A and B are shown apart, each in its own frame.
Chain A
Amino acid sequence: MKRLLSLTLLLSIFLTACGASAAPTPVPVTEAPTLAPTEVPPTATSKPESQTLLVFAAASLTDAFTEIGAAFDAANPGVTTTFNFAGSQALRTQIEEGAPADVFASANKTQMDAVIAASLITEETQKNFLTNKLVVILPANNPAALEKLEDLAKPGIKLVLAAKEVPVGKYSLEAFNLMNGSFGIDFKDKVLANVVSNEDNVKQVVAKVQLGEADAGIVYTSDAIAAPDLKTLEIPADVNVIAKYPIAPLSNAKNAELAAEFIEYVLSAEGQAILAKWGFIPVK
């Protein structure tokens, strides 16, 4: 940390010396144009007229949160909500490296806990706002003719998973462990031998199956609903894994009040209804 500080100091001295304006750490943020932190007036007493909120959300939330964001903005004139969607593990790293997020919605506890451990989120403020289940997706023409869950172990099929660092990838491995109990102890090994790629986030898994490059992929039920052109194989409850999504405001959020309001909205009847529409299981 000390090294980092001195380095930052060195850098800022250099930048000032050159007369350049010191920009904040650049972080890849989608929909960046609306993100303008400097426009927020520093006066805390008067409520600013136009406010921006930056939400870092798991890739699986892309469709649902885009809709929630639009509804939240409509209900709060002057508010612009922007999102950075990526695998939760990527969001975690970005936040740890100083990305200016106001809210973090993670697809699992592990990534949320890491941000809490870095003292960037207070543990008590996190709330679970939905649950999600796993499902197998297949291209519409089902090139490998997969009929049941056990077929995932058929030699030579092309299976695409999310990497084990990505929440849905971790859940998939947990589900295979459970399936070992039902389909034989070598089931997981046989399935993993069919994996041709470990993708960086859940939407990449969907894309590879949609393109027909993979014979099967494992994603959340919500992702399958967002891609109606795909076939699915249900995973029975006894071998499925229930994903719990936590959401929390960042301790150093530029707009703490608005961050709290957004989380409240996600947990409200309207917010939960939108989540249910996109195939998530509401908590309320």
Chain B
Amino acid sequence: MTRRQSTSRRIFSGGISKWIFILPSLILLAFFALPLFALVYRSIEPDFFANTLSRQAFQALKLSLGTSSLSTMITVLLGTPLAYLLARWKFKFKSWLELVIDLPIVLPPSVAGLALLIAFGRRGIFGAYLSEIGISIPFTTTAVIMAQLFVAAPLFIRSARIGFAHVDKQLEESAYVEGANQWQVFYEIMLPISARALASGTILTWTRALGEFGATILFAGNLEGVTQTMPIAIYIGFERDLGVAMALSVVLILVSVVLLILTKKIDNEEE
């Protein structure tokens, strides 16, 4: 409490120089806030609830929540061991491996969608073999989850890797000295200490998966109830009825806000 008071006093005691910080901040904040405000403002019309409660909107929301939860779960299950390897093990080509994992974060999602199609499409390098045994991935809900996994999982891995790397090595050393095996060290020491990094990484991946659009529309297509997630319903809605698109956008903003508040809560409880 006392720390906060002294900080606020500092803001008001500064001279002209304080504007060097305030003005650019205000410009950028307004740039973020104005479009969101405009969207919410214009979406408030008599049809708002009819638009948000339509069957299409409900199906899209259900599909989005379901697929993003699943892809996030897969990410945590497979990504945690990988992040641990990257943080603690030393091996050849490690930096190259990290590059491959970070690449999906910076690539445009359309590139991700195309790559998935070329790999797992019916005529893809691997998809052709799957196709021979009767498995076809494009245009299925599985394709939606794969697209989300591809673009969103690296965010968790990155966050978890940094979390694990920050754990004091001496703690581990002393545990090993006392006879703990690698699993015990991981489970009893690494996991609890880096829990916050893991949690915020999980939410980051979840929100990113929820918003995935580019890779999904290329790799999974657009079919109501099967592959039409919220972002795709918004894109298609934009071309039919702006009201529907805006209403769906507002719902997506609300869901994202709830998720972000959740992250904040987790962070605060850890403190």
Contacts and interface: CB of A to CB of B under 8 A. Distances in A.
B121 A197 contact: no
B79 interface: no
A4 interface: yes
Contact of B221 (A3, A166, A208): A208
Interface stretch (B34-42, B93-101, B185-193, B203-211): B34-42
Interface stretch (A36-44, A72-80, A86-94, A237-245): A86-94
Given A165-B239, A198-B222, A213-B122, 17 more contacts: A3-B41, A7-B38, A7-B41, A20-B27, A89-B240, A93-B239, A143-B122, A158-B136, A163-B236, A196-B138, A196-B223, A197-B222, A198-B236, A208-B221, A211-B121, A212-B121, A214-B139
A89 B27 CA distance: 35
Of the four ranges (under 10, 10 to 19, 20 to 34, 35 or more), the interface on chain A belongs to 20 to 34
A197 B139 contact: yes
A149 interface: no
Given A7-B38, A158-B139, A93 B238 contact: yes
B117 interface: yes
Interface of B: 27, 30, 34, 38, 41-42, 117, 121-123, 136, 138-139, 217, 220-223, 226-227, 235-236, 238-240, 242
Contacts of B223: 195-198
Interface in A203-257: 208, 211-214
A87 B222 contact: no
B44 to A, nearest CB: 10
21 contacts: A3-B41, A3-B42, A7-B41, A11-B34, A18-B27, A87-B239, A89-B240, A158-B136, A160-B221, A163-B222, A165-B236, A196-B223, A197-B222, A197-B227, A200-B217, A200-B222, A200-B235, A208-B221, A211-B122, A212-B121, A213-B122
A92 B242 CA distance: 11
Contact of A212 (B123, B222, B236): B123
Contacts of B136: 158
A11 B38 CA distance: 10
Contacts of A3: 41-42
Interface of A: 3-4, 7, 11, 14, 18, 20, 87, 89-90, 92-93, 143, 158, 160, 163, 165-166, 195-200, 208, 211-214
A14 B242 CA distance: 26
A93 B242 contact: yes
B227 A200 contact: no
Contacts of A165: 236, 239-240
B30 A14 contact: yes
Nearest to B238: A93
Nearest to B38: A7
A213 B117 contact: yes
By Cβ-Cβ distance, the 3 closest A-B pairs, closest first, are: A197-B221, A196-B139, A212-B123
Contact of A4 (B42, B139, B239, B240): B42
A211 B117 contact: yes
A208 B123 CA distance: 11
A251 B200 CA distance: 52
A258 B69 CA distance: 54
B231 to A, nearest CB: 13
A211 B220 CA distance: 13
Nearest to A7: B38
Contacts of B227: 197
A214 B138 CA distance: 9
Nearest to B121: A213
Contacts of A87: 239
